[in-house]
């Protein structure tokens, strides 16, 4: 029977995990993609330090769209007492659970689920909710933001691709009833890629503008939200404002 580490080496990975024997997991996008994960983890950790302090004991976290678990695993290693990862793809749940087994992190668990079907009744509420790299793969991003708010007790960190926004005024039914645009969405077609490990599960993707995201966070019930500044050496998408990481407070 193969060891857990041999099993990890026989699979393909989105993340470069450092395994306890000093080896790393083989990645299918090449090592360059790790830069986006490293940038996001640094931004996330710095945000957690500022908002929650360094002591994480007693705190819980939920990682929505946990993929193969790298952010949830980092959260568990950074001291959170309980971390749950959720992803729509069972293969990701299996891979993440293998990593948790290799490290013996029994306060880190993974389950399969569609974000649109989650509620506090099933999952409970968490001090920190992560939704990284998911919003722009969804056909109901507003519903997903409502789920984030419902599941969150303190801090929600959302990282997403954004599109250039439209601004201006609309004759909303009549020239006498003019309304300002609060933001906009771009539609991206992933219908031919739903088999992909990072893709949408329906293929219909609504990508928000930054104005739309910030306005919606307030409307779904967060008390405030702030765009996190990327470090100078950030991965290009974050550095050049094609993606943003936002911290929303309950």
Q: Which residues bind ligand SAM (CB under 6 A)?
A: 65, 67, 87-89, 92, 114-116, 132-134, 137, 198, 200-201
Which residue of this chain has its Cβ atom nearest to ligand SAM in the complex? 133
Nearer to ligand SAM, 201 or 210 (CB): 201
CB of 137 to ligand SAM, least distance (A): 5
CB of 200 to ligand SAM, least distance (A): 6
Nearer to ligand SAM, 15 or 222 (CB): 15
Nearer to ligand SAM, 114 or 211 (CB): 114
CB of 30 to ligand SAM, least distance (A): 15
Nearer to ligand SAM, 198 or 211 (CB): 198
CB of 233 to ligand SAM, least distance (A): 19
The residue among 212, 215, 233 whose CA lies nearest residue 224 is 215
CB of 231 to ligand SAM, least distance (A): 17
Nearer to ligand SAM, 117 or 121 (CB): 117
């Amino acid at each position: 029977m193969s060891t857990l580490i041999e099993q990890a080496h026989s699979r393909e990975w989105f993340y470069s995990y450092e395994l306890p024997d000093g080896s790393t997991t083989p990645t299918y996008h090449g090592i360059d993609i790790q830069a986006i994960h490293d940038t996001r983890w640094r931004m996330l950790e710095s945000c957690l330090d500022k908002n929650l302090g360094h002591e994480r004991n007693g705190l819980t976290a939920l990682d929505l769209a946990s993929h193969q678990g790298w952010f949830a695993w980092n959260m568990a290693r950074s001291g959170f007492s309980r971390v749950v990862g959720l992803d729509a793809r069972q293969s990701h749940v299996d891979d993440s659970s293998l990593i948790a087994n290799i490290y013996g992190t029994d306060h880190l668990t993974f389950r399969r689920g569609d974000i649109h079907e989650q509620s506090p009744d099933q999952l409970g509420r968490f001090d920190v909710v992560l939704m990284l790299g998911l919003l722009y793969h969804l056909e109901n991003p507003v519903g997903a933001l409502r789920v984030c708010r419902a599941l969150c007790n303190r801090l929600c960190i959302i990282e997403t691709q954004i599109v250039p926004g439209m601004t201006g005024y609309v004759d909303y039914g009549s020239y006498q009833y003019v309304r300002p645009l609060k933001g906009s969405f771009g539609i991206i077609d992933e219908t031919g890629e739903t088999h992909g490990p990072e893709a949408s599960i329906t293929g219909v993707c609504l990508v928000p503008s930054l104005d739309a995201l910030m306005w919606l966070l307030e409307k779904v019930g967060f008390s405030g939200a702030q765009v996190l500044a990327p470090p100078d050496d950030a991965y290009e998408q974050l550095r050049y404002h094609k993606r943003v990481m936002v911290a929303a407070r309950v």
